[in-house]
């Protein structure tokens, strides 16, 4: 899952530039020159790329690939999938399939024919904003799934109580709530205990 960043404008940033061309990398470095308290690392080889990035521990990764072959592009996409960081990827040209693949690979900004020093800073901000937005969506989705799972567990526990005690649904829920209050535990914790005990006894839900 993505971690997220508290704000786009960070006081101190570690930025990794990945570019096999020193000339192209210098364009990105020029675009970052106005950033204060910024540490920049330039990587010019694909060998051991993921471990090298992990050792640096960057806040954001800027990849300039020029005009990569399909295999090289997929290699960088694999790196992107493994990183939980804002990533901007620059290419000279692209197609719909590559753009779709970049999204699947977790690339925050996929920039086609847009490498220019004056565009780097706004693209950096955009990359981090998109990363944060997606991280919030993932967190909201995980929370929603968690609440749904808890609701389903409570419903299962209520059905068990209703069947075993021959009581109504409100009465089953009241019993769960009373047990939770008396034991100072959450209702879902009580429900999980009831469901687990029922399953261990070979009961069917």
Q: Which domains does the chain have, with CATH numbers?
A: 13-115 (3.40.50.2300), 142-200 (1.10.10.10)
Residue 5 has pLDDT above 60, yes or no: no
Please report the pLDDT score of residue 201 as a whole number. 83
Q: What is the DSSP letter of 113?
A: S
Model pLDDT for residues 95-126, shown as the tens digit of each residue: 888 888 998 888 999 999 878 999 999 999 99
Please report the pLDDT score of residue 3 as a whole number. 52
Helix, strand, coil content of the chain in percent (nearest 5):
60, 15, 30
Contact 191, 154 (CB under 8 A): yes
Kindly compute the dihedral angle of the four CA atoms of residues 185, 186, 190, 196, in this order, to the nearest 10 degrees: -110
Long-range Cβ contacts of 140-145 (<8 Å, 24+ apart)? 142/1
Model pLDDT for residues 158-187, shown as the tens digit of each residue: 999 999 999 999 999 999 999 999 999 999
Please report the pLDDT score of residue 8 as a whole number. 47
Cα 163 to its chain centre, rounded Å, is 42
Please report the pLDDT score of residue 46 as a whole number. 85
This model's pTM is above 0.75: no
Please report the pLDDT score of residue 103 as a whole number. 86
Q: What phi and psi, each to the nearest 5 degrees, are found at residue 107?
A: -75, 125
Residue 148 has pLDDT above 60, yes or no: yes
Query: What is the percent of the chain with per-residue pLDDT over 90, rounded to a whole number?
Result: 57
Q: What confidence tier does 10 reach under pLDDT thresholds 50, 70, 90? A: very low
Name 92's Cβ contacts closer than 8 Å, sequence gap at least 6: 66, 67, 112, 113
Residue 6 has pLDDT above 50, yes or no: no
> Which of 48, 39, 47 minimizes the C-alpha distance to 17?
39
């Amino acid at each position: 899952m993505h971690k997220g960043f508290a704000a786009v404008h960070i006081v101190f940033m570690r930025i990794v530039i990945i570019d096999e061309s020193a000339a192209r990398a210098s364009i990105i470095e020029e675009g970052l020159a106005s950033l204060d308290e910024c540490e920049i690392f330039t990587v010019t080889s694909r060998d051991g790329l993921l471990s090298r990035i992990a050792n640096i521990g960057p806040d954001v990764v800027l990849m300039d690939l020029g005009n990569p072959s399909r295999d090289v592009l997929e290699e960088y996409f694999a790196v992107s999938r493994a990183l939980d960081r804002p990533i901007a990827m620059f290419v000279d040209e692209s197609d719909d399939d590559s753009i779709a693949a970049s999204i699947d690979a977790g690339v925050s900004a996929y920039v086609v024919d847009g490498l220019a020093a004056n565009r780097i800073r706004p693209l950096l901000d955009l990359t981090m904003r998109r990363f944060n937005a997606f991280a919030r969506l993932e967190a909201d989705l995980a929370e929603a799934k968690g609440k749904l799972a808890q609701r389903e567990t409570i419903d299962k526990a209520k059905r068990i109580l209703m069947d075993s005690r021959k009581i109504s649904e409100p009465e089953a829920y009241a019993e769960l709530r009373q047990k939770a209050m008396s034991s100072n535990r959450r209702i879902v914790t009580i429900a999980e205990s009831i469901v687990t005990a029922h399953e261990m006894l070979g009961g069917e839900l």
